[in-house]
Amino acid sequence: MSGCYIHIPFCAQKCSYCDFHFSTNHTYQDEMVDALCTELEMRSKVWLQENFETIYFGGGTPSILTPIQLQKLINQVKSNYQVVDSVEITLECNPDDCSLENLQKWKELGVNRLSIGIQSFNDDQLKWMNRSHQAADSLNAVKNAKQVGFDELSLDLMYGLPNMTLQEWKDQLLQIIELNPEHISAYCLTVEQKTALSKWVKEGKLVVSSNDQQSEQFELLVSTLKDAGYEQYEISNFARNEHYSRHNTSYWKGSKYLGIGPSAHGYNQTERYWNQANNKVYLNELKKGSLPETIETLSDFDRFNELVMIGLRTKWGVSKQQLFENSAPNEEWFQIVKNYEDKNLLVQTEEHILLTNAGRLLADAIASDLFLIDTSTPLSVL
Ligand code: SF4
């Protein structure tokens, strides 16, 4: 089972906290779609044997594409790859793009899952974030999507925002629950280098939540969504009635994925490739007939560490069989696992290693403690 990720590198405007790859110049959108189609065709020779179960349009802002551009891309995937009949096709969209007309067209094209970037229901927060929408647009987007018949809605919300009190976060959560989506993703605001947010924080113009406040907000997130019937199946992802994101779940379980577009990366369980994160360079390379990529061959250590890092974040945990296929850790490693078990932060079943609820608060630190270090690398190359 494999997934196909297509990166659409355009946005209406630059959100002040964002360091993803995108451009606000849309004059060459058609040219970019043609290049994405070229890359899809070029990579198909190697990926022909794979059965694709998911197609995910991420970005950037994929909902900025015209329906004709989107159709071209979906057709190109279907005509060059083996795609299962029950394929999950997800479109990330901004609330202000979710008009009845657009939604109707996306549905006709086979899009069956929407991931709507609400981020906040507070217009003051949306304003400093420089989002292109307001809270009312989000409510309309969800109403319209339901009216058109989308029954796989995922809504994104952010916490750790400047001046956010616990009560404000609770109100945000109650509002999103009220909309009754099948899936909710909630991410903590991070201050990325070279963003307007990082400049404002350095200048003291904005104060983001402290680590303790973020932890309190995370705990409130988990308990409030649990009480509302949402299962936390990954640290930042919650689903009702097993409406998991099939695309992201296959990624977290270590499946292969094809990545198309500037800055996208792909993984075939042996190698990872990274596409150029520059639209012009990406277009020029493809015009010359070459793939705009850098390839990294993963060592057994890399694969082991990656399985730990992504697997521990999920409710399924890390598969021991998958993990030990790559490398055999030493006694010291098993002792670290045991220490975390004794502290009630990790549990082991016969087949998996998983975090407890308390362990999820420390997921990154625990994962990095379980990484294997390749000590055979000579110091001279470090
Ligand atoms: S819409 Fe998304 S990708 Fe685009 S600038 Fe905002 S946060 Fe970044």
Closest to 262 measured CA to CA, from 4, 9, 20 = 9
User: Tell me, what's the pLDDT at 1?
Assistant: 77
User: Tell me, what's the pLDDT at 381?
Assistant: 44
Q: Is the CB–ligand 1 distance for residue 9 below 6 Å?
A: no
Parent domain of 314: 300-381
How remote is the CA of residue 19 from the centroid of ligand 1, in Å?
Answer: 8
Under the banding of pLDDT at 50, 70 and 90, the label for residue 133 is very high
User: Tell me, what's the pLDDT at 377?
Assistant: 57
Judged against a pLDDT cut of 80, whether residue 380 lies above it is answered with no
Q: Is the CB–ligand 1 distance for residue 59 below 6 Å?
A: yes
The structure tokens listed for 271 are 């190698």
Judged against a pLDDT cut of 90, whether residue 140 lies above it is answered with yes
Residue 95 belongs to a domain: yes
Please identify, by atom number, the ligand 1 atom nearest to the C-alpha of residue 11.
Answer: 4
User: Tell me, what's the pLDDT at 103?
Assistant: 98
* Domain identity same for 112 and 235: yes
| Sequence letter at residue 111 | V
Q: Which residues pair with 186 in a beta bridge?
A: 157
User: Tell me, what's the pLDDT at 134?
Assistant: 97
* Domain identity same for 239 and 328: no
Judged against a pLDDT cut of 50, whether residue 184 lies above it is answered with yes
* Domain identity same for 322 and 232: no
Under the banding of pLDDT at 50, 70 and 90, the label for residue 327 is confident
User: Tell me, what's the pLDDT at 357?
Assistant: 87
- The answer to whether 41 and 123 have CB atoms below 8 angstroms apart is no
Of 251, 286, 318, the position where a domain reaches its end is 251
The residue-averaged pLDDT of 121-134 equals 97
Q: Which residues pair with 319 in a beta bridge?
A: 352
Of 227, 251, 275, the position where a domain reaches its end is 251
The residue-averaged pLDDT of 177-198 equals 97
Judged against a pLDDT cut of 80, whether residue 274 lies above it is answered with yes
**Choice from 8, 10, 14, 15 to test ligand 1 binding pocket (greatest atom count within 8 A of CB):** 15
Please identify, by atom number, the ligand 1 atom nearest to the C-alpha of residue 60.
Answer: 3
Q: Is the CB–ligand 1 distance for residue 22 below 6 Å?
A: yes
Q: What percentage of the chain exceeds 90 in pLDDT? A: 90
User: Tell me, what's the pLDDT at 382?
Assistant: 41
* Nearest Cα residue to atom 6 of ligand 1: 15
Residue 212 belongs to a domain: yes
Residue 241 belongs to a domain: yes
Q: Is the CB–ligand 1 distance for residue 14 below 6 Å?
A: yes
User: Tell me, what's the pLDDT at 374?
Assistant: 75
* Domain identity same for 77 and 139: yes
**Choice from 7, 17, 20 to test ligand 1 binding pocket (greatest atom count within 8 A of CB):** 20
pLDDT tens digits along 349-369: 999 999 998 898 899 999 999
* Domain identity same for 52 and 109: yes
pLDDT tens digits along 13-68: 999 999 998 999 999 999 999 999 999 999 999 998 999 999 999 999 999 999 99
* Domain identity same for 229 and 311: no
The residue-averaged pLDDT of 301-315 equals 93
The residue-averaged pLDDT of 153-163 equals 97
How remote is the CA of residue 181 from the centroid of ligand 1, in Å?
Answer: 22
CATH number of residue 360's parent domain? 1.10.10.920
Please identify, by atom number, the ligand 1 atom nearest to the C-alpha of residue 130.
Answer: 6
* Domain identity same for 240 and 304: no
Q: How many domains does the chain have?
A: 2
* Domain identity same for 154 and 64: yes
Average pLDDT, the chain: 95
Helices (H), the chain: 29-47, 67-80, 100-108, 123-129, 135-148, 166-178, 196-202, 211-227, 246-252, 279-287, 300-311, 320-326, 331-342, 357-360, 363-369
The structure tokens listed for 266 are 């792909």
pLDDT tens digits along 200-211: 999 999 999 999
